[in-house]
Amino acid sequence: MKHGKILLAVGTLFSLNSEAALYDRGNGLVYDDVLNATWSKDTNLLKTLANASGNSINYLQQIITASNGKVYDGYNGGDHTLTLNDFGVHPNGNVVSMTWWGAHGFIDYLNSTNYQGYNNWRLPSLSPINGTNFNTNSSYNGATDAGYNITSPTSELSYMWHINLHLPDSYLPNGQLNPAWTNTTGYFLNFADAANANASDSFTFGGNQKFWTELVPNPNAKPSMFYIFYGAQTINESESSPGVGAWIVRSGDVAPVPVPGAIWLFSSGLLGVLGLKRRNA
């Protein structure tokens, strides 16, 4: 994975965890072989799909209908009634963000429509670094579950940010401001495509600077989010926090889509074999 703004001081953090190989599987899906998870190549898929529908409001209504107008909210002990207010719509019609409830409504919709042939889409997961309980105290050195420089794969988004994409936090582990960080860091989501001889590739940055994550294994916990703008992770956020997106993921790999050249080679080879059989006959 390549990025032009990495300092050696930050790079020493990455040696603690193995870097995943990222495979562009086609159809806008990228597989991570360490997390064993497949990511949407589009970090703001909702905006893209809503725009492609031709009518963002109607598309959001379809999402609400797919969830029967409700999503489960374990923290508050019941269902949340899903409305258009759970989605941030820009005056130009772009869907730019969603509440935590809206994110779950969107995922319910993707699963009900078998998006890209799968029905197990979810938010990126976050489990305790120590394997037992969340430490919500903020730290600079990645030792807790909140704060900066979290390189553990227990946080899928933070691992993607720090290890796979090699992107810096706004603070170094010693608490000093990171000179490698700029306010445009989140726009450069480049990676080496292991499915194509490590050719340069990239995720599509959809404008969101915060993404929802899901605390595991406690479905009744308050939501958490990851700020790609700062490279920081927070826990116990309000479900209605503004300006947050959903970078969707699913567990496991997906079947790669053959490139046109590979299809042509296979077809021509098959025709050659059939032709040889006819001549031998």
CA dist., res. 265 & res. 39, Å (int) = 29
pTM to 2 decimals? 0.83
Residue 92: per-residue pLDDT: 80
pLDDT one digit per residue (tens) for the chain, 281 residues:
333 333 333 333 334 567 889 999 999 999 999 999 999 999 999 999 999 999 999 999 999 999 899 998 877 778 999 999 999 988 887 888 999 999 999 999 999 999 999 999 999 999 999 998 899 999 999 999 999 999 999 999 999 999 999 888 999 999 999 998 876 655 678 999 999 999 999 999 877 889 999 988 776 677 899 998 889 999 988 898 888 999 999 999 998 877 555 444 444 554 454 454 555 55
pLDDT reported for residue 187: 64
Phi-psi group of 158: left, alpha or beta (phi > 0 → left; psi -120 to 50 → alpha; rest → beta): alpha
- Give the tokens for residue 131: 């394997």
- Asked if residue 204 belongs to a domain, the reply is yes
**Which residue range forms the structural domain that includes residue 51?**
8-280
Query: Does residue 50 lie within any of the structural domains?
Result: yes
Rg (CA), the chain: 21
Tell me if 2 is assigned to some domain: no
pLDDT of residue 118: 97
Give how many domains the chain has, as a whole number: 1
The Cα diameter of the chain in Å comes to 78
Is residue 144 situated within a structural domain? Answer: yes
